[in-house]
Amino acid sequence: MANVGLFLLVLLIITLQSMAEGFHKARLKLTEREITFPRWPLVEQMDEHLTTLKLILGSKDEIYAGGGRHLFRLNFQKNQGQTMVQRIPIPCDTVKTDCGITVMQPGRDGYPLFVCTAVKEVQQGTCCYKDVNGSTNCTSIYGGGEPALLTGEILYTTQSGVKDKDGIYRTRLYNVKDQMKPPSSRSDQQYVKIIERKLVSKLYAFYTEKNHDKDPDSDIFTPRVSQVCMADLGGSKETLQFQWTSQLSSRLSCGDPSRKLYYTELLDVAVLPSEDGADARVYGLFRNGWEMRAVCVYAMNDIDGVFNNSSPKPTKTLSRRPGECVQESRNLPSDLLIYMRNDPEMEDWVGPIGHSNPLLVSRSQYSHIQVGRVEGTEGQEGHNVLLLSTECGAVHKVLENSSDPFIIAEYHPFKPGTHILSMLLDSSQKKLYVSSNAEVVQIDLRNCNVYGDQCADCILARDPYCGWDRNQKRCSTYSEDSIQDVEDGNVHKCTDGPVIDPSTEGPQQGDADTIDISESSRHFLPCPVHSHHAEYRWMQGGEERQSIMDSQQEQLVLLIDGMRAEDEGLYQCEAREGDYRKTVVQYELRMSSAVGGLKSSPLALALLLLLLLFTLLR
């Protein structure tokens, strides 16, 4: 009885843990046991511990990684006879003081990079176009760093967390006198992303601002988006000279307004361009005070609408509307320039598309977001896929679904607990690059064979990148001839008849491994867990046997508690996911006179209990 009570206690703990994990769970967990992650170590090339590392795409399977005093070119192609990790010299190499990369942008005119470096606490920096052999066209700029944006010979930078200097800056390269800066002194702003909106000739900056409201019930942070006109030349000599005359801000809304529950700290932003370039989507990753994460989706046209149509505050009668883009801002009326010095805010907030609630809410501690689109074949709709890094070193691949987001897979490219510094999606090659402070890893988003060797396994994955190849009889990159059901994962599409019976899926009865177990001995039967959306159970003689889920080893364990004659027979581990069932493994047990199994009953149960408790406390 004591053993039974202990067993039930373990089951209760496991059940409570499963409930605490929340509704959203990755269907598959993919480690290096299931998938190969090409990786290139950086730590051997460095003499410092990086806290930031930015990635920029180069040519096919080639990226650039820069952070601190270091800049690298990484080539992920195999058998090319090239150096896989190549160090690129930067001005910091010749400076002994605390020097580092402040801006890193795609280059032009045959130069893949544009890089700025500066000595810490010094506002003046040096910017150069660079390739692997050196630099050219270098110039000096005043301050600023990432997030940044280079458009032609105009460089936009941001300052974050610098007393009275936070904001957006603009510098015309090779003309240090042509600069723009914020119209007012700001502090406690953390910039996340700046985006060029060519359709309306504006720049949008997304950031989090610390709330200085002393009300104890107010939020600590406020997420915002600001606009500036790209043609802005500043104000008159008397007011806002060389300062933005078009800067307006609006609060970003992410949460449930009916419950007054908001996510107020903006962590990251990803932009998904539209096919016609007119109305891109902005995906914001937020956090609240309870460490919950949420993703909200905004339309660029809606952001335009708030700045074009909402009333700015404080309300005041002016000679013309604040924030309008004009050809000559230096001639704007003085009353408008004076009003713009205070960085006015719009009355209306920028809300998610359709004023909806968050696309995704999760207890997973997400830190970065990338978004890709998989176009459908003729007559088929395309699908959006979110890629979210967690603070424990994993990456979630999430289907944006019309009903509820579906976590396709959880990649584990690093050791548990590794801090991910950055992510970069190569949309053309369908590959994701993920960096820690020691290495950069490539994840192939079209690695479809990990889902299984049956049509139903491929369909249940609901991965837009993958489909069941009718001719090759395997799960592979999706094409117009593939079988796929991303919306519902309907396995009936695999056959014109009923869903394949479990007796014909997986091992056949004659394939069962025979195990001889001595009388009264204990034995463990493992069943590997593939899909975490499936229900697993051990069956013997048509009846379910009590078992324990070992989350550490990803298996369902059946304990034979003292082998007896009635324990002989066929044991099958069955997986059920929706309408689909299959036999995962099966064993034929026979009682023998030979010594086998685990004879020590207390020891066996103690080992099992320790294993489960270790799993729970990880």
Question: Mind listing the pLDDT tens digit for each residue in 255-294?
Answer: 988 888 899 999 999 999 987 767 899 999 999 999 999 9
pLDDT of residue 82: 53
Distance between CA atoms of residues 410 and 442, nearest Å: 14
Q: Is 409 helix (H, G, I), strand (E, B) or coil?
A: strand
Model confidence, pTM: 0.89
13, with CB counted inside 10 A (0-12, 13-18, 19+), is: middle
The encoded tokens of residue 45 equal 């090339």
Distance between CA atoms of residues 435 and 422, nearest Å: 5
The encoded tokens of residue 305 equal 């609408």
Q: What's at 42, amino acid-wise?
A: L
Please tell me the number of Cα atoms within 13 Å of 549 on its side-chain side: 18
pLDDT of residue 143: 73
Q: Is 180 helix (H, G, I), strand (E, B) or coil?
A: strand
Question: Of the candidates 62, 58, 60, 56, which has an alpha carbon nearest to the alpha carbon of residue 40?
Answer: 62
Q: Dump pLDDT digits (tens) for 566-604.
A: 999 999 999 999 999 999 999 999 998 755 444 434 444
The answer to whether residues 587 and 525 touch, using CB atoms and an 8 Å cutoff, is yes
pLDDT of residue 278: 75
pLDDT of residue 418: 95
The answer to whether residues 614 and 15 touch, using CB atoms and an 8 Å cutoff, is no
Distance between CA atoms of residues 165 and 188, nearest Å: 9
Looking at residue 315, the DSSP 8-state letter turns out to be -
What are the structural domains of the chain? 24-447 (2.130.10.10), 450-499 (3.30.1680.10), 506-616 (2.60.40.10)
Between strands 255-256 and 221-229, the pairing is unpaired
pLDDT of residue 47: 63
Q: How many residues does the chain have?
A: 618
Question: Of the candidates 235, 255, 253, which has an alpha carbon nearest to the alpha carbon of residue 244?
Answer: 235
The residue whose two tokens read 């607990």 is 417
pLDDT of residue 596: 47
Instruction: Spell out, as residue ranges, where the chain has pLDDT lower than 70.
Output: 1-23, 44-48, 78-83, 96, 277, 378, 496-510, 594-618
pLDDT of residue 618: 46
422, with CB counted inside 10 A (0-12, 13-18, 19+), is: buried
Distance between CA atoms of residues 193 and 284, nearest Å: 10
pLDDT of residue 85: 85
